[in-house]
Amino acid sequence: MPRTGVFICHCGTNIAGTVDIDKTVEASRNFPGVVHADEYRYLCSEMGQDIITKAIKENDLDRVVVGTCSPRMHENTFRKAAAEAGLNPYLLEVANIREHCSWVHKDMEEATPKAIALLRAAAAKAALNEALEAPRLDVEKRALVIGGGIAGIQAALDIAEAGYEVDIVEKDPSIGGRMAQLEKTFPTLDCSACILTPKMVEAAQHPNINLLTYSEVDEVKGFVGQFDVKIRQKARYVDPVKCTGCGICWEKCPSKAPSEFEMGLSKRKSIYVPFAQAVPMVPVIDRDSCLYFRKGRCQICEKECPPQAIDYEQQDEIIERRYGAIVVATGFDQLDPTIYGEYGYGQHPDILTGLEFERIFNASGPTGGKVVKLSDGKPPKKVVFIQCIGSRDKARGMNYCSKICCMYTAKQAILLKEKVPDAKSYVFYIDVRTGGKGYEEFQRRAAEEHDVAYMRGQVGKIFPEDDHLVVRGIDSLTNRNIEIKADMVVLAAATVARGDAPELGRLVGINSDSYHFFNEAHPKLKPVETHTAGIFIAGACQAPKDIPETVSQASAAAVKAIGLLSKEKLQGEACTAEVIQSDCSGCLNCEAICPYTAITPVEIEERYKDGVLKRTVAEVNPALCQGCGSCAVTCRSGSINLKGFSNDQIMAEVDAICLQR
């Protein structure tokens, strides 16, 4: 018979307000095996933990049940207290009488018997608990950062500065990301490139940082401390060692394709660097538009290249490397507003998205920094900005707020007034949201000092007529229809997850919300962690956010990664699955269902009659297993035991609740 101690927490009035603590303590004394029962106002406090530790020693307890909040909150706290008293921490069991009981009931008459039943079940399970040991795992002292935008660069720089090696994997030919496409940044109007490029160069030159541009992650296996990653370095068809970045190849190249960096507003060559400050300054050949790859002739770049760096035979290269931690910082896309037919996007060159307009301001952009209409090259005199295109739109778009649009619209309106002093801006908005240091002041400046007319309302139709765009909308404050003959329309298209985010999430093993933004482990307390240990997220791949927020999140993710890498050994999961191989039929359904690839088939030998029988059974790698239990419930012969949650233990809990009523 075990010697079990039961400890019940009041949690102030959180539990005691709905559960009769005295009755519960009294009832607990009568559970099989219980030799001690006590209560305390805040069991998680130092005093409360002391009560447990002392009681274990004084009463020679070998099982402990705590009736408290959810084990997600304080299981570790109480396990440590038990360990303090010399008890194996896995002999302690938590009965969740707060979230599962007191918080969901109002009536003490109902809640009290339920709390007692939950405690009885926990005591019955605890009696069958076994001492478990968590495995100790090695840590590879290197981090992988996926995405080379400002989030990835910042995270990599911080990790590298702490003394660890970092690889940045960037799918584009250059690092820099979205921030490189921006003209100026709110609310201080400093030039985006001027503050970004030094960081790009620093990342490229840092001895601990290894840039893998034009590369993508193909496969992630393993677990915290030991992720085995396959990275595909796509063929550039240019030898980066020989190339000097002189630019003769892209000057001479005769074929063109729409520039991704310029949002398709202008063309780039088929051999190209995405922008003038690209890092590394090594071009790539785009096979789809290159004359040589399409038709087998041309080869001008090869002939003209002074150091003869062109190599048409180059192949994709697979790099296999082990990492201790991974930071995912893959950024965002802009919604394609063509789904909203009423705005006429794509049907007229002067109807632009916010990011496209950003390029119009830029000195190296499609208009050379002259703010002019793409239709006729004349400066726009009337520009209409429309907010929330696809954001805050339950019916046809996204429910969420894209967060950055109110501010960048104010910025663009101010920049417009500076470049075209007689231009007039109109902003159609639902609400103006300017939370952030100096943000409200900035937006007010746009409205009050830069002649920007803010109109609360929405636009119903945009169409070209004569040489202007007719914008028809409603001012919902005056309830009047508004018609503006505009020269240019800028749509604040929603910030959306990258198109390949679901695929990357699956590949890396992290989950996302219904909009494909990656999920943090806790919305407040674990904002950069994911549910997969050792994988962190930073920047707009988690949710729409601006640069300051992105950078702080990147540094936070870096700190978490550094904390992990600095450990000599990691404590693994003790509650893992084990296969009872004598019962296993080798169907391997468990292998298919395991989300952590922890189950593999092995061949075992068994004595059978006079000979030896070889057969295949499943085996669990305890280092990979996260104890989710999917295999245990899938197993048809019941031959998988999840340590700490065995079938016997679960049945004992059920019996304790059902049979004692």
Contact 235, 316 (CB under 8 A): yes
**CB closer to other proteins out of 236 and 348:** 348
For residue 561, CA distances in Å to 145, 164, 167, 211 come to 10, 10, 13, 18
For residues 269 and 250, the answer to whether their CB atoms sit within 8 Å is yes
Per-residue DSSP letter, 266: S
Q: Which of 464, 475, 485, 500 binds other proteins (CB under 8 A)?
A: 464
Q: Is 247 in the site for other proteins (CB under 8 A)?
A: no
CB of 341 to other proteins, least distance (A): 3
Q: How far is the CB of 345 from other proteins (least distance, A)?
A: 11
CB of residue 479 to other proteins, shortest distance in Å: 14
Cβ closest to other proteins, residue 78 vs residue 345: 345
State the residue for tokens 């910042």. 154
As measured in angstroms, the least distance from the Cβ of 342 to other proteins is 5
Query: For residues 119 and 28, is the Cβ–Cβ distance under 8 A?
Result: yes
Choose between 313 and 465: whose C-beta lies nearer to other proteins.
Answer: 465
When binding is defined by CB under 8 A, the residue of 109, 465, 568, 610 that contacts other proteins is 465
**Minimum distance of other proteins from residue 380's CB (angstroms):** 20
482 lies in the site for other proteins, by CB under 8 A? no
Q: Among 128, 319, 374, 470, indicate the residue that binds other proteins (CB under 8 A).
A: 470
CA angle 292, 297, 301 (to 5 degrees): 60
How far, in Å, CA of 274 to CA of 148, rounded? Answer: 14
From the list 252-260, 335-343, 417-425, 485-493, the region that binds other proteins by CB under 8 A is: 335-343
- Closer residue to other proteins (CB): 15 or 386: 386
> Is residue 312 involved in binding other proteins (CB under 8 A)?
no
Nearest-angstrom CA–CA distance, 180 and 275: 9
Q: Is the dihedral of CA 39, 40, 41, 43 positive or negative?
A: negative
Query: Between residues 186 and 340, which has the closer beta carbon with respect to other proteins?
Result: 340
CB of 468 to other proteins, least distance (A): 12
Asked if 556 contacts 550 with a C-beta cutoff of 8 angstroms, the reply is: no
Based on the shown chain and the rule CB under 8 A, indicate whether residue 463 belongs to the binding site for other proteins. Answer: yes
Q: How many residues bind other proteins (CB under 8 A)?
A: 9
CB of 467 to other proteins, least distance (A): 12
Least distance between other proteins and beta carbon 469 (Å): 10
Question: Which residues are within 8 A (CB) of 133 and not within 5 positions of it... i.e. 6 or more apart?
Answer: 574
Give the separation between CA 222 and CA 218, rounded to whole angstroms. 14
CB 256 within 8 A of CB 240: no
> Can you tell me the distance from the alpha carbon of 140 to that of 324, in angstroms, rounded to the nearest whole number?
4
Closer residue to other proteins, CB minimum distance, 109 or 465: 465
User: Cβ closer to other proteins: 345 or 596?
Assistant: 345
CB 228 within 8 A of CB 182: no
Contact between 250 and other proteins by CB under 8 A: the answer reads no
Stretch that binds other proteins, among 82-90, 268-276, 279-287, 462-470 (CB under 8 A): 462-470
**Which lies closer to other proteins via its Cβ, residue 283 or residue 337?**
337
Q: How far is CA 49 from CA 14, 36, 77, 534, 570, in A?
A: 18, 15, 8, 30, 25
Structure tokens at 353: 């998205």
CB 608 within 8 A of CB 616: no
C-beta closer to other proteins: residue 342 or 655: 342
Site mask, other proteins, residues 337-376, x = CB under 8 A?
Answer: ---xxx----------------------------------
The first and second tokens of residue 36, run together, are: 């001690």
C-alpha distances (whole Å) from 646 to each of 126, 130, 576, 588, 653 are: 11, 10, 10, 20, 11
Give the residue with the Cβ less far from other proteins, 489 or 590.
489
394 lies in the site for other proteins, by CB under 8 A: no
Q: Smallest distance from the beta carbon of 466 to other proteins, in angstroms? A: 8
Span near other proteins by CB under 8 A; candidates 178-186, 194-202, 461-469, 586-594: 461-469
Q: Which run of H or E residues covers position 309?
A: none
Rounded CA gap, 521 and 224, in Å?
A: 15
Binding mask 211-240 for other proteins (x = CB under 8 A): ------------------------------
The piece of 269-277, 408-416, 458-466, 639-647 that touches other proteins (CB under 8 A) is 458-466
Calpha distance 391→398 (Å, rounded): 5
Q: How far apart are CA 473 and CA 486, in angstroms?
A: 12
Select the span of 42-50, 129-137, 465-473, 593-601 touching other proteins (CB under 8 A). Answer: 465-473
Cα distance between residue 408 and residue 494, in whole Å: 12
Spatial distance between the Cα atoms of 181 and 259, rounded to a whole number of angstroms: 12
Nearest approach in angstroms of CB 424 to other proteins is 23
CB nearer other proteins, residue 59 or residue 458: 458
Measured from the CB atom, is 72 or 461 closer to other proteins?
461
What CA–CA distance (Å, rounded) separates 627 from 648? Answer: 17
Provide the 3-class DSSP secondary structure of residue 384: strand
Query: Considering beta carbons, is residue 113 or 464 the nearer one to other proteins?
Result: 464
Q: Which of 54, 72, 303, 461 binds other proteins (CB under 8 A)?
A: 461
Using CB under 8 A, list all residues that contact other proteins: 340-342, 461, 463-466, 470
